[in-house]
Structure 1
């Protein structure tokens, strides 16, 4: 190949010692000089700063279930459980974005691959146009397969040489590598031994402290139990004393009420001689309202009241000194109650009759009041209806008076007709002698009749007929609305009567405003005749 003008010479430096750092440095320099032919996807290794920010602490203690002699490592078990709990809480507190960054960083760290030292680039890889020109001429694409096989053979040859050199280098550096590995192993063993020693010291010290804390806790629990027992005994004694004081206060109150009762049973002469005692205990001031008080009967109030009573104790004055005196009093009371019972049983029928009469009287009064109220309501409605009808008739009368009546009676033509009729009457009956011929009277009467008929025909025009039809239609609509209103009122009256019956009250009877005959006549008169023309 040295004599071949197209041969390629590559100087590959042979490594005498196997060192990872030197190999990485040479690969870095070589990759900086020669650009890459193909961009292979290589996962980059994350930086140390990224690992510090997003990585979870790796100080993982031993799991609890792998420990032996649980009684010996009892404190360490609690310590590891607490550490697991805090680590779990810390992982839960990490947001979802940081969790994604942590996982991606972990994957990048595990998928990182160093650049291979066996990859060697030749001039064929560096110069892309090497096969395109031969002696200044561009060759065709069909001739590229030969040169491609040549390139593959060159690459295989160079790879074989590199592997042989690498194997020789490793064989020459076996002793040096063994020494380095022994040093690394000894350092690691020493560090592990130191860590195990420190761990044993930590476990023993922690166990000793745990035992001390447990002893202190047992002592504290014993003291707390002792104080708790004392407090329970004190609470029991306090409750017993409180219940005794409340019972004594209740019995003292009963005795005071009983003593006041006996005081009022004593004769007035004896009470007059013992006024000082009555004033001292306020018998006449309070009477039998001894237990009635606006204050709450709390323990403090009861205690203060008993303390005051004990400080100023007054010896009571007794009228009844023997039991037979009290028996006589009770016998008299019994006799008095018996007499009262006899009188009550004697008058019980009369009392029963009186109560029944009072009840019937109340029922009658209620019924009469209902009837009176209904009558008053009926008359009120009748008065209102009469007032409305009166106003309507008054308006109708004045309308007729100022309208049709005046036009029919007070006009000039009506007066002229009246005079003509009077003249005709006088002429026929000859009550008053007049100097006028009968033919002239007839002619004047005929002329007036014709003129009056002409005026009446003029009044019967279309406007008058239209007005009459509108008036009739208005009256009919009012009649229909009145019929509907009457139906609604009947339904309301029926509902009201049903409600009154349901509540046990007599039904409300409301007679019609007009008699039934007048209502029927009004209905008949409101209907138009068969010959009526609208």
Structure 2
């Protein structure tokens, strides 16, 4: 069989490229695993490994060489076997030998050509590999040069970084010492501030206490000044006004002196301390001048003040008693005013009720007058016969009312007398109603209203019952008039209604035939 060798000038397909790259990655991983598993003494650099790999590719693995040797050995053995055939006898063996010889020569030629072709391919691959090796050597030299430059740069950067670290450490030490000094000075200042604040607080408390005592003394002074007589107060005011005039003159002179001192200080350029001390000395002198003289008091002996206080307390007690009496009178007046107000309100309410009653009576009288006027007009418009008939009807109605309200006996009184008796009876009843208390009247009104409601309810029930009876009559009439309906169903309905009591016996007997066996 002729073996087909892969052409080195043909591009492989995508699947073979992917498989080749995957195999290469696996091989690299295995090599890296083997390299990591080696001891430290046997490990080499990347460049040394790449060079050894290229050498093996160029020279060839010893395993592959051994395989080639074994192939050659097998070929020699096969040739020897072919060249030295078994010595057989007969014409057949002589005929087979030249045929085998021709096959051997053809096979050897084919192998020779294939070997030459492989040799050419190997030479081409060697040339390509050598060019690649040269390129790789140049790239390696370039990379080594770059690595050396990078190492030099890294060394320079390391030196600079070390110098930077030293400088940074020196600055940090200086900053730490400066920070410690600042912290120490800050703590000292804080302690001093706390001490000063404590002293300021003590001074403020003292000032507050002095101010309170001063206010107390001022109140005492005002109190004593108020207790003193008004003549003495006027004298003190005049003295104060007289003493104020020279003090104003002294103040103007002091202002002129201070202005001159300021001008001299600006001209000579003296320190601020002297000016401040001069300015501070002026108010101190003023304060001292103000408080040099002791305040004059009207009371020279404490007993005078005690006597005055006792007199004032007596006056206060008398005033308190007077105020209590006035308050009692005021309360009495308020009670009386409240009582009169209530009475006035009650009178107003009664008057309003009376006014409403009078208005209602007036309305009723007006309505009655209108009715009477209508009746008079009707009476005038009617003829004598109609008038007599109407008067007879009115007299009958008046007699009926008289019998039911005044006297149920037969009397020979005229119609006007009967009307007068009815009016007298109504007036007496109204007076009796007014004399009845309000609670009983209200209870009677409620009873009447409840009776009225019950009558209305009974009337409504009676009307409903009448309507139901009429409805049942119509239903029975329709049922009997309709010949298509069965009689037995109608009879059953009527019996049920009669048992429930919704229909009277007369109506049942009227519409129910006697032939059915019903006897009322």
Place the TM-score, normalised by the shorter chain, in its bin: 0.3 to 0.5
Relative CO higher for 1 or 2, CA cutoff 8 Å, sep ≥ 6? 1
TM-score, normalisation: structure 2:
0.37
In terms of fraction of residues, the more helix-rich structure is 2
TM-score, normalisation: structure 1:
0.36
Structure of higher CA gyration radius: 2
